[in-house]
Amino acid sequence: MSQNNNRLSNWVPLVAALMFVLGFFAGEMVNRHNGPTAAQKKFQTILNIIRNEYVDEVDLDSLIEKTIPSLLTNLDPHSAYIPASDLQAVNDDLEGSFSGIGIQFMIDNDTIKVIEVIPGGPSEKVGILPGDRIVKVDGEDIAGVGITNEQVLKRLRGDKGSKVQLRIKRTNSKKLLSFDIIRGDIPVNTVDATYIASPGIGYIKVNKFGRTTYDEFYQGLSKLRREGAEDFIIDLRGNTGGYMEIAYLMANEFLDPGQTIVSTLGRDFNSSSHITADGTGSFRESQVVVLLDEFSASSSEIFAGALQDNDRALIIGRRSFGKGLIQRQSVLPDSSAIRLTIGRYYTPSGRSIQKDYSNLSVYEHEILDRYQRGEMFSADSIKLNTDIEYKTLHGRTVYGGGGIMPDIFVPNDTSGISSYYINVANAGLLQRYAFEYVDDNRETLCKATNVEELLELLPNDDALLRQFVLYASRNGHPARWYYINISHDLIVNQLKALIARDTLGYGAYFEISNGDDINVKRAIDELLGGNAAFPIMPEGNH
């Protein structure tokens, strides 16, 4: 991929000087040739008046800190200010690793419970186990004090090589256990699951486009191929995006040399380009289905648009979010940052999928509006601008102006939803029961090495449901069997998936939950029928 990497290196974000912010901190904005503009003079005058005449003493730095987000919001919905205190956490989410202790946890009944211990991480090395309850961190009580997820993360994460002491309550010990843990690099996995969904068909779930996503993605596809997969389902539902260049590399795996991946257009040379495939992709002959929903955005839409416009994949699901703006992050002198929109991207057919943001209030509620007018349940309710029409490589019609429209619409699945299910799900009882079930049966369940073996260790469906209903009744949700029977299959499937997650890891959750997923089922049907075969011909010709 060396040629591709060289081409993509032009897209590594550059640190830009933002004169208006420098003016905030330096007290002046001076154009080298013409001096400050009238607007810059006006702004500085207002600051001086506030400093000298406001009735109370004002911390101008604090005032400006509160003003910057509002200033950027008036540009577009995706330009944003990141305070210095949040920048590290925001970057960690995409950079592929952070420094911490290596656990996944949940907060239940004001108690921090360890769900998973990352193999090879600092916590596993000292003996932390799934099911442990964290009672104290560095001598500070964190159980029963109303602590939040963010507060827990701030205490557990820290500089590599630094030490943190945990006091642990373990079910087989009457005394609290003490562990000194040296923080280390913890990988941030962006591929949640890879498994064989049907003979010859591999499934891969990508949750974001981070720094390590391409490597994870390629390794996942290669693993699936070794296990017999020839065709692939790529699940980007809920994936809000990330680094654009990662989407380019992923799309390159499926495209022939010279085929366009994406074009970008900005105000300067560094914001404009035309990215094409270099022909080194290893999966150019595979059938591909991409799953999208209304929360698939940005890089997800670049990837899906590249494969759709080149007639290289079937898109299944619901219309994507509609974010076609490009942001560049610039670090400011105080280690805060802004992400400023510096360009727009266009799919190979030339369409912009950015939805209208002239009214920011309407933009913020656009997804809710889709639900209210029925778009999630009927393709006929989709509000599409048919005047913005484009053609794919082989002549199919696609549309711009508001997200990637799927080739095959699959409505939001409401089967099995009842008031009982909604109530127990909103109360977190499904997750709590699954955790406690695994906690009570860990010695037995841990003998399973895969999903099939685990399912053989679980009670039959009716017994599992009865046990859960009794648990829910003890926790304030009495049995309502008419509604429970409606939700029977949904509740049982979710319980099995959650138990698998807490026993085998996150990937096992999808392997079970997808068994009842109508999008995945439709994708398998289309692949088995050869309907995603390359090339996809125009409608009516295949």
* Residues 304, 532: Cα–Cα separation, whole Å: 14
Which of 315, 276, 507, 506 has the alpha carbon at shortest distance from 404?
A: 315
Active site residue 323: yes
Sorted by sequence, the CB contacts under 8 Å of residue 453 that are 6+ apart come out as: 447
Active site residue 439: no
Residue 533 parent element (H or E): none
* Tally of CA atoms within 13 A in the half-sphere of 140 that contains its CB: 10
**Catalytic choice (99, 273, 296, 298):** 298
**Catalytic choice (293, 309, 502, 517):** 309
* Residues 41, 49: Cα–Cα separation, whole Å: 12
Active site residue 330: no
Instruction: List the structure tokens of 450.
Output: 């895969």
Which of 261, 341, 344, 343 has the alpha carbon at shortest distance from 303?
A: 261
In the block, tokens 């150019």 appear at 284
257: preceding bond cis by omega (within 30 degrees): no
List 82's β-bridge partners, or say none. 337
Please, is 446 exposed, middle or buried when counting C-beta atoms within 10 Å of its C-beta (0-12, 13-18, 19+)? middle
Distance set, CA 424 to CA 147, 418, 431, 487, 489 (Å): 23, 10, 10, 11, 15
* Residues 133, 136: Cα–Cα separation, whole Å: 9
Tell me the chain's radius of gyration from C-alpha atoms.
Answer: 26
Which of 394, 271, 422 has the alpha carbon at shortest distance from 343?
A: 271
* Residues 264, 328: Cα–Cα separation, whole Å: 13
**Catalytic choice (113, 323, 355, 496):** 323
Residues serving a catalytic function are 298, 309, 323
